[in-house]
Structure 1
Amino acid sequence: MGSSSNGGAMSGRAPGTVGGVKSSPPPVDKEVDYANYFCTYSFLYHQKDMLSDRVRMDAYYNAVFENKHHFVGKTVLDVGTGSGILAIWSAQAGARKVYAVEATTMADHARALVKANGLEDIVEVIQGSVEDISLPEKVDVIISEWMGYFLLRESMFDSVISARDRWLKPTGVMYPSHARMWLAPIKSTLSDRKKNDLDGAMADWDNFSDEIKSYYGVDMSVLTKPFAQEQEKHYIQTAVWNDLNPLQVIGTPTLVKEMDCLTATVSEIEEVRSNVTSVINGHTTLCGFGGWFDVQFRGRKEDPAQQDIELTTAPSERHCTHWGQQVFIMSNPINVEEGDNLNLGLVMSRSKENHRLMEVELSCEIKEASGNPKESFKKTYFIE
């Protein structure tokens, strides 16, 4: 819904532990982080894009208003309030007090919206880092829309964890309460388009190199390999946002990560590792993999939701979301048969240059239904 932090603790939690696990992340430059990330959320056009996502909006709206028992007379903390919509809904659902934290100047717009809806006595908008601000009391509910592409891009969940560890009551609930990441083999014409774009870029380089040598007497061929590597990253290794349709999913979707937002730690999301299996469902072409996520609003075991609500970005859904699916394209598609088994390995970690971006290493071993090895490969992708 917005941005929550501009502090050096973004890669970790405030002092404290969850489940005995301590985190000591490297410091993050606040000014650089703001320039690279938070500034985007200070524009209304960006907020409008998110507020126009009906799947997203309906899920949060239903989660709040179909579970009013979690809000009536309660205190709420909205992490990254953005326009303030979640804070407003929390107040409309009966919250006694709502603290809406926003790192950017969008906080001014949130205050105006809160006032225009007659809720300034309940909703208090606080501009600043959720890691740095102080509240006068603990809260019963933490609500936040923190999810990025393939769930973890942007690393905003770090801020939610920090807020939870500092301000959530022992009996409190998280909205959303649970999250899952999915991966499935896909067939996509995007593979051909990306390969054609790469081939075109290399042909253009060859013509350019020939002209420089012919006209100016300088041999550029020593730079051909670095240029090829640069273009490979741009066209093939950089995972793209796309809206897949169900027919493009050619194997069983597989769960690569699930977490309870009440107990998850930064250390378990700094690097996600998973080894899973998918089965191909027909004679087709494997062009890559699609990744998506879903989150659930279930409350907690001791205080469950009266109505479970799910927000999913799966390609099987009728309506698309602004997240779409993260698509990891192969430069050389592979013919596969029904019953072929894909043993998939995934390692997802934060970029060393920017902790909000992700590097994904995907390995795949393909075996025929009989068990005979067919092909294997490993590639690195970037979620930027």
Structure 2
Amino acid sequence: MGSSVNGGPGGRVSNNGVDKGVDFANYFCTYSFLYHQKEMLCDRVRMDAYYNAVFQNKEQFVGKVVLDVGTGSGILAIWSAQAGAKKVYAVEATKMSEHARELVKANGLEGVVEVIEGTVEDINLPEKVDIIISEWMGYFLLRESMFDSVIVARDRWLKPTGAMYPSHARMWLAPIKTGLGDQRINDYESSTDDWHRFLDETNTYYGVDMSVLTRPFCEEQNKYYLQTSIWNNLHPHQLIGIPGIIKEIDCLTATVEEILNVRANISSSITEEKTRLCGFAGWFDVHFRGSKQSPARLEIELTTAPSENNGTHWGQQVFLLHPTPRVGKGDDVLISFSMDRSKENHRLMEVEFGLEMRHLAGRNPQPIKKKFYIE
């Protein structure tokens, strides 16, 4: 994944009211380091999916004009050229563009691939393109809000008959069992215990009573340990209910307004005998289908679902419940899900769950409401 969302130095304000200089400092700079690019390039699930999407559908690229949004190291642009594209515009917002340019040259493709430093919101191309390729997905798909830039690129530069790679995306949610919740509670309690030791020592040795800060400190730690989602690569056996789709996106027609928030009501039937509902896992998959006018010969899927062997650098977002209600096979968990962009940082997300358990036997517990942060 590269970078190309409403960014760039200079203190300008984008159409969505975000200061571009602040956005560049907070977000884009991460992608200007090779170590971060290497992390993504070592993700074999990610790499194989994009490689196969391009080279198993070479006829879609031969003689075509391609735009790579957020090119990063330039790998997708290089593959597009190797597959037969006659011209590839590789757009990158950071100085990683210099490395991409060198890589293109080292692979003898400087006559085909043109690396452009800038954002798709600001740059201009001399022509419309046949294909937009981009690895824009963040944690739980929409974190980072990079898909905004892909939509801008599509609306500005894609031909009416053009194709998007990937073409479709889905967000999934499922109930899970895990020991992560106990670990987080222990970490939270250790943090607050340490705070009280700090108060005693500061008062004893330095004569300053700082206990007035206890409440905001505990609120801060509570948010970090108990309300912030966790990145994790789960095993399939940790799923205790049937996964449900909470969002489907057609990359060819989606609008920014459509992805500003996600709302879903789903029901998941518990598949495991007598266990605890420790929380939920959220993940995504994307599909490379081409377009109606130019369908892919072979559809490729990239999934970040819990896996026995091949985890991804995205993993899953884990939302932990405290306390953990008891559930059993055949029980239904009714989930009301909402996800919005953070008001403080449009690249981060705020999530709210509303839960109702319907047990096959016994009294149903009170509904649960919980707020989480994806940071």
TM range (shorter): over 0.9
> Any idea what SS the aligned residue of 2:216 has?
helix
Counterpart in the other structure of 1:364 = 355
Aligned residues: 369
Aligned mates of 1:150, 1:53 — CA distance in 2: 16
Cα distance, 1:206 vs. partner? 2.5
Partner amino acid, structure 1, of 2:320:
I
Matched to 1:351, the amino acid is S
C-alpha contact (below 8 Å) 2:68/2:77 kept by paired residues? yes
Structure 2 vs 1, CA of residues 196 and 207 (structure 1 numbering), >3 Å: closer, same or farther? same
1:257 to 247, 251, 254: 247
Q: State the SS of the aligned residue for 1:353.
A: coil
**Contact 1:6–1:38 at 8 Å: present in 2 too?**
no
CA distance in 1, matches of 2:334, 2:232: 24
1:129-174 residue CA offsets vs partner (Å, 9 max, x unmatched): 1111111110000000000000000000000000000000000000
Tell me how far 1:373 sits from its aligned partner: 2.7
Q: In the alignment, residue 111 of structure 1 is paired with which amino acid?
A: R
Aligned counterpart, 1:101: 91
Does 1:149 pair with 2:128? no
Residues 53-112 of structure 1, C-alpha deviations (whole Å, 9 max, x = no match) = 000000000000011121011000000000100000000101011000001111111111
Q: 1:303 to 1:369 in 2, by over 3 A?
A: farther
Contact 1:7 1:132 in 2 (8 A): no
Give the match's secondary structure for 2:164: strand
Q: For residues 132 and 192 of structure 2, what CA distance do their matches in structure 1 show?
A: 50
**1:381 maps to 2:362:** no
Distance 2:96 2:212 in 1: 49
Q: Deviations over 1:257-281 (max 9, x none)?
A: 0110000000011111111111111
The one-letter code of the counterpart of 2:312 is: T
- Whole-angstrom distance in 2 between the partners of 1:81 and 1:289: 33
Paired residues of 1:5 and 1:102 also in contact (CA < 8 A): no
Contact 2:232 2:315 in 1 (8 A): yes
Q: 1:244 is aligned with what amino acid?
A: L
Q: Tell me the amino acid that sits aligned with residue 3 of structure 1.
A: S
| Residue 201 of structure 1, CA deviation | 1.3
1:62-211 paired onto structure 2 within 5 Å = 62-211=52-201
What's the CA shift for 1:217? 5.3
Aligned ranges 1:39-78 → 2 under 5 Å: 39-78=29-68
Preserved contact between residue 6 and residue 128 of structure 1 (Cα < 8 Å): no
Match of 1:241 in 2: 231
Distance 1:115 1:200 in 2: 53
Letter in 2 for 1:153: R
Residue type of the alignment partner of 1:286: L
Per the TM alignment, residue 378 of structure 1 is displaced from its structure 2 partner at its CA by 1.1
Residue 352 of structure 1 aligns to a residue whose secondary structure is coil
Deviates more, 1:373-382 or 1:243-252: 373-382
Distance in 1 between residues matched to 2:197 and 2:7, nearest whole Å: 48
- Residue in 1 that maps onto 2:276: 285
Deviation at residue 303 of structure 1 after TM alignment: 2.0
Per-residue deviation, 1:218: 4.8
Query: Structure 1: any 5+ residue segments left out of the alignment?
Result: 9-23
Specify the alignment match of 2:327 in structure 1: 336
Instruction: From the superposition, tell whether residues 31 and 376 of structure 1 become closer, same or farther in structure 2 (CA, over 3 Å).
Output: same
1:210-225 superposed matches below 5 A: 210-215=200-205, 218-225=208-215
Which one is further off, 202-211 or 262-271?
202-211
Per-residue deviation, residues 4-49 of structure 1 (Å, max 9, x unmatched): 24448xxxxxxxxxxxxxxx95321111011000001111111111
Q: Shift in Å at residue 316 of structure 1?
A: 3.3
SS of match in other structure, 2:125: coil
Which amino acid in 2 is paired with 1:2?
G
Measured in 2, the distance between the counterparts of 1:245 and 1:212 equals: 45
**Separation (CA, whole Å) in 2 of partners of 1:182 and 1:238:** 18
Aligned-residue CA RMSD (Å): 1.6
Deviations 1:218-255 (A, max 9, x none): 54443322222111101011111111111111111110
Q: How does 1:292-307 map to 2 (within 5 A)?
A: 292-307=283-298
TM-score (norm 2): 0.95
Counterpart of 1:227 in structure 2 is 217
Question: How far apart in 2 are the matches of 1:370 and 1:332?
Answer: 21
What amino acid sits opposite 2:300 in the alignment? I
In 2: Cα distance, 1:341 partner to 1:308 partner: 34
The change in CA–CA distance for 1:126 and 1:371 in structure 2 (over 3 A counts) is farther
Please report how far the alpha carbon of residue 366 of structure 1 lies from its aligned counterpart in structure 2 after TM superposition: 1.1
